[in-house]
Structures are given as structure tokens and as C-alpha cells.
Amino acid sequence: MQKINILIVGAGVAGRELVAQLIKYFSNRYEIVGFLDDDQKLQGRKVSGIKVLGKIDDLPSQIKKYKVEEVLIAIPSAEGFLIRKVINACQ
């Protein structure tokens, strides 16, 4: 079975918890290619062993680069404009 490449938007607490759950329960299904987060301090660093590849605005290029099939939003406080931004970037 080929794994599905995913990107996680949000490398904060929720993102780290999501990674832990994905690795624990779905490691045979998903390949986490990286995080996207607008926090400048996280750029280029690893969070829970997963690299922060860039900012949310980089989503279209990262989807193409890594052949991402699913994007997960791990920002509990995300407002509608941010969710729309992610959805539009995915389209």
C-alpha cells in the first residue's frame, strides 16, 4: 500500500499532538512531509522530528514539490479567513 503524502498547517501544540497520533495510529497510511507555519522562529527547524518547510503562503509550491494529497489544519483557533486561505491554496 502506497502512503499518502500529507502536510500539516500549524506546528504548535496541536500540530505536535496530531503528529504523535498520526505516527501512533496511521504510520502505515500517511507520510508526513512537513509542517507549514507562519511563526518565523520555527522556519527551517524540526518539530516532533518533522521539518517546518515554510509559511502558509508556500502551500501551493510545497503541495507540488512533495506531491501532497492531503493537508491537515492543526490550528484550533483558526478563523474562517485562515481556513479559506488554506482551502484556496489547495485548489
Is the model's pLDDT at 59 over the cut of 90?
yes
Question: Is the confidence at residue 47, as pLDDT, over 80?
Answer: yes
Half-sphere exposure of 63 (CA within 13 A, CB side): 16
The structure's pTM equals 0.93
Query: Which of 32, 74, 26 lies closest to 49, judged by CA?
Result: 32
CA distance 79 to 89: 16
C-alpha cell at 32: 508526513
**Confidence at residue 75, expressed as pLDDT on a 0 to 100 scale:** 94
Task: Find out whether 48 and 20 touch, Cβ atoms under 8 Å.
Answer: yes
Q: Are 90 and 59 in contact (CB under 8 A)?
A: yes
